[in-house]
Structure 1
């Protein structure tokens, strides 16, 4: 993608992938402890997307199934971004079982499960990347983008005025159970310039 060349070199991209590998490993460990289950670690996808490409990124993350999603902004050291966690709706029964949740699986119960998992995954990932770059990120309050919604609803929420962003996609699955979620980290174009300086320092 031509846009990527303007923002990232291959060395920088590789470095972001390594940083993400460490951070998502920490997040997976916390999730595994929460659920007492083995979390399958994926290879993170690092790309530069334009606002108009967001629907394609979300389509790749969610497929055609209905999803529930939480969004949380973060900021620190002149760097800002947004984390979006999307759960395949079929995951909730398995989540409830692993978390030993008792009672009917109402929409409120699903929301509680979604927020608990989002808190673990988003927090650990953001702080894991920040720790390696010596950045302290402050997180905003999580916002529910929708429950049992389709792609067009997520795109409407995600269209927040940026032109280009560094996108880090992490697909988490849990072994032997039907839990499937996607974490999408978006760093604004201005933030990437600052991030790249930090990454270049690591590369030197």
Structure 2
């Protein structure tokens, strides 16, 4: 992998396997919420930590966000999954899950964790199967509730300096639900990932 840029062919392959993985995750979410999930094209980049907030431009319009982070490791590949929610999503998610009471911060937390478990778990499982690896996932960690996006990005997202990032913005059709799943693979993992997908480049 030369310089700061990701080889175009490699980016296409990562995009392709992510498409399959996120499709499965979206299918599970759609069943849980009984609502169609709009799937975008995943955005694959190699970026410095300082550039991370640029990757999250799709969430910039929201005043506050809540986020969960979950590390994963396996077969010499390591990284973290970051799920960022716009805070206006909670009312709609509560309705879709038939929750009838007051939406307290604790309930928001539970809803956030439920969605995170589905999206992160299914997406990593889909990637692992295609790469023929096995990931073990750490405990999900709440990075914060009702934060400004800049506060989230500047403070918390791991200890990496440069990473392969895959951004997947999920939207629910006809609902005010937006969340971004960001997969960050450490720089050390890139060579292993390249080897794993090399057969797809032939």
Q: Normalising by the residue count of structure 1, what TM-score does the alignment of the two structures yield?
A: 0.94
State how 1:1-204 maps to structure 2 within 5 Å: 3-4=4-5, 8-58=6-56, 60-65=57-62, 66-155=64-153, 156-158=155-157, 160-204=158-202
Q: CA RMSD in A?
A: 1.3
Moved over 3 A (4+): none
- Which range is displaced more, 47-56 or 128-137? 47-56
Q: Tell me the distance in 1 between the aligned counterparts of 2:186 and 2:58.
A: 19
How far residue 54 of structure 1 moved from its aligned partner, in angstroms, is 1.6
Question: What's the CA shift string for 1:122-158, capped at 9, x where partnerless?
Answer: 0011110110010111100000001011123212001
Q: Tell me the distance in 2 between the aligned counterparts of 1:67 and 1:100.
A: 22
How far residue 173 of structure 1 moved from its aligned partner, in angstroms, is 0.4
How far residue 162 of structure 1 moved from its aligned partner, in angstroms, is 2.0
Q: Tell me the distance in 1 between the aligned counterparts of 2:3 and 2:7.
A: 12
SS at match of 2:88: helix
SS at match of 2:4: helix
Change (3 A) 1:64 1:177: closer
Q: Tell me the distance in 2 between the aligned counterparts of 1:181 and 1:54.
A: 16
Q: Tell me the distance in 2 between the aligned counterparts of 1:18 and 1:48.
A: 16
Q: Normalising by the residue count of structure 2, what TM-score does the alignment of the two structures yield?
A: 0.95
SS at match of 1:3: coil
Structure number with higher helix proportion: 1
Q: Tell me the distance in 1 between the aligned counterparts of 2:149 and 2:200.
A: 37
How far residue 67 of structure 1 moved from its aligned partner, in angstroms, is 0.3
Q: Tell me the distance in 1 between the aligned counterparts of 2:168 and 2:78.
A: 19
